[in-house]
Amino acid sequence: MDSSKLMLSIHISLFILVINLCTVPMLGSCFDRIINFGDSISDTGNAYLSSGNASTSIGALPYGMTYFKHPTGRWTNGRVILDFVADHFNLPFVQPSVGGKTPEYFQKGVNFAVGGAGVLNNSVFTRMSGINPAQADNSLWVQLQSFNKLLPLIANGSDVPTMMNKSLIFVGEIGGNDYNRGLASLVPLEKITTWVPRVVSAIGSAVNILIK
């Protein structure tokens, strides 16, 4: 597979999957909250808060300088795409999951995305690639487990299916770091391409779990 076909496969695997479609004419009334899973493309502070605010990169300018005027834990100088989605649906910016412990904190949504996260668990990735990731395991599966633990706070006494039906749920962007780790370790491109089905399958499994 040449590099252009590889990039196409990667882009497909990273495509943002919206698993709850809006049927209400007025878009602003479609959803009560946003629930997001992903990596640095949509992280709104989880990696920063988990590090004890110790990150010297995202904890300093120019991160955050163009909109918030100060670093917020986002891996950008302004807002992430998720912020624009929230604004479109008249919802507040989605709070990082590690930042609160009360139902009020999660009332309008929760973001499980973590900068540096991959789709595959560290142990699975190591078995597949022979590489030991240096990062903490914040994989998509770990994010789903965190979601299950926080579900009582997110639902806050409401019926869970009803709550989910009024939630806009994003799975992605995530998957790029699974490939980036291989590229950074000089794994041959031909071998990295063989990982694509495993990564895409794991994303699909996560979507099916959330639907169920």
Distance spanning both ends of the chain, measured CA to CA: 35
User: Which residue reads 């990295």 in tokens?
Assistant: 192
Alpha-carbon distance values, 126 to 87, 131, 157, 181, 204 (Å)? 39, 5, 40, 11, 21
Query: Residue 9: which of 175, 128, 152 has the closest Cα?
Result: 175
Mean pLDDT to the nearest integer, 26-39 = 81
Which amino acid, residue 44?
A: T
- Beta carbons of 153 and 95 less than 8 angstroms apart: no
**In the predicted model, is pLDDT for residue 140 greater than 70?**
yes
- Beta carbons of 172 and 17 less than 8 angstroms apart: yes
pTM: 0.84
Mean pLDDT to the nearest integer, 102-129 = 91
**In the predicted model, is pLDDT for residue 97 greater than 90?**
yes
Mean pLDDT to the nearest integer, 162-186 = 91
- Beta carbons of 209 and 144 less than 8 angstroms apart: yes
Domain of residue 171: give its range.
3-211
- What is the distance of C-alpha 51 from the center of its chain? 17
Kindly report the backbone phi and psi dihedral angles of residue 147, in degrees, each rounded to the nearest multiple of 5, phi listed first. Answer: -60, -45
Q: What is the DSSP letter of 119?
A: S
Three-class secondary structure of residue 35 per DSSP: strand
Residues in the chain: 212
- Spell out the residues 6+ positions from residue 200 whose beta carbon is closer than 8 angstroms to its own: 12, 13, 175
pLDDT at 16: 42
Domains in the chain, number: 1
**In the predicted model, is pLDDT for residue 20 greater than 70?**
no
pLDDT at 56: 63
- Beta carbons of 211 and 19 less than 8 angstroms apart: yes
Here the tokens at position 19 are 């698993």
pLDDT at 17: 43
